[in-house]
Structure 1
Amino acid sequence: MIKIPHTVVLAALVTMGMFGGIASADAVSGPGSGFGPARVTVNDNQSEITVVGEGNLSSIPDVMRLNTGVEVRRTTAGAAFADARKAAAKLTEALLGAGIAAKDLQTNELSLGPVYDNYPVVAGYRAAQGVEAVVRDVDSADKVIDAVAAVGEEARLNGVSFEVSDTRKALKAARDAAFEDARARAEQYAGLAGDELGRVVSISEEGGTPPSPLMFSGAMAADKASISPGQQNISVRVRVVYELR
C-alpha cells in the first residue's frame, strides 16, 4: 500500500454520560446526529491529525443556598415596614440558631409598597425583606428550613439551589477524561488512515460546560423528602493535534 503524507482534521466531539461518572460514545456524522461531517485534507509537507475530546464528570453538591424572607401587610406603610423589620430580625435569629454563620446570611430584598383593592384605592401596604442563607452542611437542610417555618406566618420560602463548593478535583478528572478520549479517537483515525500516532503538537482547552446551580422551588423545599442535592455535571473540551508517522 502506498502511503500519501496527509493532514487529517476531524471536527468530531464526544458525547459523555450524564450520570454515574464518566462515559463516552463515538460521534456519528449525519442528519440529526449533532455532529458535522469530518474534514480531511491532504498536505505533502506535514502529516497531522486534529481531534476534539470531551470529558464529563458528575459531582454531588455540598452547599445549599436557601432563598427565604419575611412579608407583612398592614394598613399603613410605617406599620408594615416596622413589623417587617421585626420579623426579619426574628428570622435572622432563627437561622443563626439553626447553625448558619453570620457571614453566610445576606439581605437580597427590601421592599415597601401599596396594595390596591380597586385601583387607585389603596387597601394597605406590603413590606418584605429577603435573606439568602448559605447552608454549608447539606445534611442540616431540613433543620434550617424547619427553623424558617417556625418564625411564623410572616416567613416565606422562595426556593433553594445547590452547588459544588470546590470544583477543582472534578475539573481535573474531566480534563483527564477529555484528553484520554481525544487520544483514543486519534489512534482510531490514524489506524484507519494506515498511520501511527506520533507526538503531541499542540493542546488547547475549548469552552466546556461550567457547573451551574440546581434550582428547586419553595414548594419542593416544604417537603423534607425532596431536599436532595442531586448531581451537577462539569464538562471539559480539549483540542489536540498529533503528528502522524
Structure 2
Amino acid sequence: MSAPLPRTTATLAVALLALGLPVLAAAPATALTASAAPVVRNAPAPSTVTVTGVGSATAAPDLALVSVGVEAVGKTAQAAQVAQSKAANALLAAVRERGVAEQDVRTEGLSLTPVYKYQDGNSTLTGYQAAQNFTLKVRTVARTGEILQSVTDATGDAGRIHGVVFDVADRTELRARAREAAHKDAHAKALQYARLSGRHLGRLISLTEGASGGPSPVPAPADVAGGGAGVPIAPGEIQDDVRVTAVYELV
C-alpha cells in the first residue's frame, strides 16, 4: 500500500484530474551515492646506477696518407712556374712508377707568390716562388719509405715532404671492437656497484654512445718500412676509443 500524498501534492493531483490531465506518480526519493573513484598511487621510481664505459681497440695501419710537394724560385713569375711544373711532373712520374694509382694522387694546393728582400726598412722584389702540394694514398704501407725516397730523388732541392699519417682504410671492424670493449667495461662497473650496494643488477635502461674521435696513430716499435729501403718509417698502430654511458636498474 503506497504512502499518502502530502496535502499540497494531493490538491495538485485533484486539480489535474479536474482538467483531464494525467497524474504522474512521484518517484520515491532515493539517496544517490557517488561511486568512489579508485585511488591511483604512483609506483616508486626504480633504483638505478649510471656508469661510464670506455673501450679501445688497435689495428695495424693499412693506409698511409703522404703529404709532399715542390717549390721553385725564379726571377720572373713565368720562370718560377716553369721550374715548379718540371719538378711536379718529375714527382708524379716517380710515384706512379712506384705503383701509386692515379686516383690516389690529389693536388692540395697551388701557389705563386712574390719574393722580397727587406733591408733598412725597404723592400725589393727579387723574384717569385711557385709551389704545388699533393696528397698520396699509399695502400701498401711497407712501401711508404720507398715512395718518399723516390720523391726526393726525382725532385732534388725542389722536393718537400710535409708529413705522413697512417690510418686504416675501413674503420668498421676497429670501431665495432672498441664498442664491445666499452659495453663490457660499463657492465662490469655496474655489476660491481650493485654488489657493493647489496643489490642485484637488473635490466639495462639506456645506453648512450658519447662523442669520440676517429682512429688515431699510436707510437709503437715497428720495423723500418721496406726493410731499410728508402726513408725509414715506423707505422706503429692505429687506436680507436669509444665512450658509453649506461643506466642499469638495481633490484
Instruction: Judge same fold: TM > 0.5, yes or no.
Output: yes
- After superposition, residues 193-204 of structure 1 pair within 5 angstroms as 193-204=197-208
- After superposition, residues 92-241 of structure 1 pair within 5 angstroms as 92-118=92-118, 119-151=122-154, 152-212=156-216, 226-241=232-247
Q: Give the corresponding residue for 2:83.
A: 83
- Please give the secondary structure, in 2, of the residue aligned with 1:45: coil
Contact 1:49 1:186 in 2 (8 A): yes
How has the CA–CA distance of structure 1 residues 44 and 226 changed in structure 2, closer, same or farther, with 3 Å as cutoff?
Answer: farther
Consecutive unaligned residues of structure 2, counting only runs of 5 or more, are 1-42, 220-224
Q: Give the corresponding residue for 2:12.
A: none
Paired amino acid for 1:60 = A
Paired amino acid for 1:169 = E
Identity, % of aligned pairs? 39
CA deviation string 1:56-99 (max 9, x = no partner): 12222221111111111111111111221122111111110011
Paired amino acid for 1:82 = V
Contact 1:142 1:227 in 2 (8 A): yes
Partners in 1 of 2:65 and 2:116 — Cα distance?
Answer: 33
CA deviation string 1:195-219 (max 9, x = no partner): 111121222212233224679xxxx
Contact 2:66 2:135 in 1 (8 A): yes
How has the CA–CA distance of structure 1 residues 126 and 214 changed in structure 2, closer, same or farther, with 3 Å as cutoff?
Answer: farther
How has the CA–CA distance of structure 1 residues 100 and 232 changed in structure 2, closer, same or farther, with 3 Å as cutoff?
Answer: same
Contact 1:70 1:130 in 2 (8 A): yes
Q: Which has the larger radius of gyration?
A: 2
Paired amino acid for 1:105 = V
Partners in 2 of 1:214 and 1:88 — Cα distance?
Answer: 32
- After superposition, residues 31-110 of structure 1 pair within 5 angstroms as 44-110=44-110
Paired amino acid for 1:115 = V
Contact 1:162 1:214 in 2 (8 A): no
Q: Give the corresponding residue for 2:21.
A: none
Shift of 1:224: 5.2
Shift of 1:226: 4.0
Contact 1:47 1:244 in 2 (8 A): yes
Q: Which has the higher helix share?
A: 2
Paired amino acid for 1:232 = I
CA deviation string 1:136-165 (max 9, x = no partner): 111111220111011122221122111121
- Please give the secondary structure, in 2, of the residue aligned with 1:117: strand
Contact 1:111 1:129 in 2 (8 A): yes
Number of residues paired by the alignment?
197
